[in-house]
Amino acid sequence: MRIVELPGFQRGFAKLPKPLQEKTWYQLHAFVEHIGSPAKPKSLRLKKLPQGNFEISVNMDLRIVFQLHGDAIVLVLLGDHEDVRRYMRR
């Protein structure tokens, strides 16, 4: 699986302190390792969103919105609940 970062994700990632950046990559790698597996780690809190988007949790406040395109995970957004709501209203 390839990981493609869009500008919205990159901006959110750049604003995070180093420990949250590391936690973000940890959660992404946990997700990639479990693709196709019937058991997903509950800590990811994977959720299907409208318009082909999905969401996983970094922590209680921080979310990663992504899309699946062929063999690529396209990271669309990294932000809090309100950032996700704003993105989904587009």
The string of pLDDT tens digits covering residues 16-25 is: 999 999 999 9
Q: Is pLDDT of 14 > 80?
A: yes
- Look up the pTM and report it: 0.91
The Cα-based distances of 81 to 2, 7, 35, 61 in angstroms read 26, 18, 24, 7
The string of pLDDT tens digits covering residues 24-83 is: 999 999 988 888 777 777 788 999 999 999 999 999 999 999 999 999 999 999 999 999
Q: What is the DSSP string of 33-44?
A: HTTT-S---GGG
Helix (H, G, I), strand (E, B) or coil at 48: strand
Contacts for 41 with CB less than 8 Å, ≥ 6 apart: 30, 34
Give residue 37's pLDDT: 79
- In the chain the domains, ranked by start, together with CATH numbers, are 2-89 (3.30.2310.20)
